[in-house]
Amino acid sequence: MLDLKQIRENPEKVQELLDRRNSDQYQIEQIINLSQQQRELETTRTELQTRSNEIGKLIGQKIKSGSDPAGDEIKTLKAEGNELKTKLGKLEPEEKDLKAQISAAILELPNLPAQTTPIGKSEAENVEVRRWGDEYLPENNDSILPHWEIGEKLGIIEFGRSVKIAQSRFVSLIGAGAALERALINFMLDRQIAAGYTEVMPPALINTASLTGTGQLPKFAEESFQCQDDDLWLIPTAEVPVTNLYREEVLEASQLPIYHCAYTPCFRREAGSYGKDTRGLIRLHQFNKVELVKIVHPDTSEQEHQSLVKNAEAILQALKLPYRVLELCTGDLGFSAAKCYDLEVWLPSSGKYREISSCSNCTDFQARRASIRFKEAGKKGTKFAHTLNGSGLAVGRTMSAILENYQQPDGTVRIPEVLQPYLGRKIL
């Protein structure tokens, strides 16, 4: 959530930053107008309340000094007081309604891009920061089968029967496929715990307040699966429940930074993506992911962002999977992010790098929505924390990359060395 005070005091700057997202849907004029109405109404209400209080005191003073409680003077004052109470009774709900309209309008606005975020209109203008693992690129991409084909040939991925028990874009992993997925999850968690993260196993169902706190609601309701009879939604990512563990809390500064990692299944409707990645493990309605979440002091969030990206990269490096790092431009930023780096792994069958992790610094945007604050020792007041999150990694996409990059001419797939102790085998 953006700061209303910032919008009021620097409307031109806020609008300029929103415009960098390359969308004319984000306008603050309505908020400025509603805010002005609310402040004028608040001023009027304060003046009426002050006069009402004065009348109450005046009546008491006059009666105490000998005025007739039933006299005309007291009656006149009481009549004025009653009239003021009637006006106040009408103003209070109007002011409450204006505040609700302002809050609803602000919830629709995305985070402001960081000053250092590259300005661009679309993903075509994202900036490549670095590449890693060129020495591990397969020699002949043309002979490599897509991961879904090699997976079905090996009997470890089942698409057809999954459609029967659910619908398209669901998958079942069989035998060594299920074991490989589980091995990847355990490997990723072990590595991130060793890097200083505390593991969390959160609920897979969350309430509306949680999705609002991290920015998925109200704008992106169509992307999530909702339980019709309860105020519960299936999680789109562990970022939501893990960040919201601290919703509406005031932390001590000494508790920061907080590092969490979490394995969860993730559920997304993928609305608007019809026709994209209809085959394979890239874009499913249900998939597994290990998520990294940080809650940090604002002074360290940029440094923490860089280290979070390194934590995600470390998994790809350990698996010896070629990848590149992209810095997203303003036109491709996620709703809650001020700055974001994507990790893209090499998929040789398509000859492309594909996203496998998105690492975002949300600054105080989610903390304002979820009211996550901290208090520094010896100082008055509280401040909003900064929240960061990133995939460490998307498990199905990691499996896809292994099936393609480690594919052998005889149709088998080698297991990366770091996974062999988890699986107890070297070949699929």
Residues catalogued as catalytic: 268, 283, 355, 358, 397
Contact 214, 239 (CB under 8 A): yes
Distance CA 255, CA 246 (A): 12
Q: Is there a cis peptide before residue 257, judged by omega within 30 degrees of 0?
A: yes
Cβ burial of 26 (10 Å; 0-12, 13-18, 19+) is: middle
CA atoms within a 13 Å half-sphere pointing along the CA-CB vector of 48: 19
CA–CA distances in Å: residue 162 to residues 170, 173, 181, 279, 280: 6, 10, 17, 13, 12
Contact 389, 197 (CB under 8 A): no
Distance CA 263, CA 239 (A): 10
Contact 237, 267 (CB under 8 A): no
Distance CA 268, CA 343 (A): 20
Q: Indicate if the alpha-carbon torsion angle 400, 405, 411, 414 is positive or negative.
A: negative
One-letter identity of residue 326 = L
CA–CA distances in Å: residue 321 to residues 106, 126, 138, 406: 41, 21, 10, 9
Residue 169: which of 271, 283, 288 has the closest Cα? 283
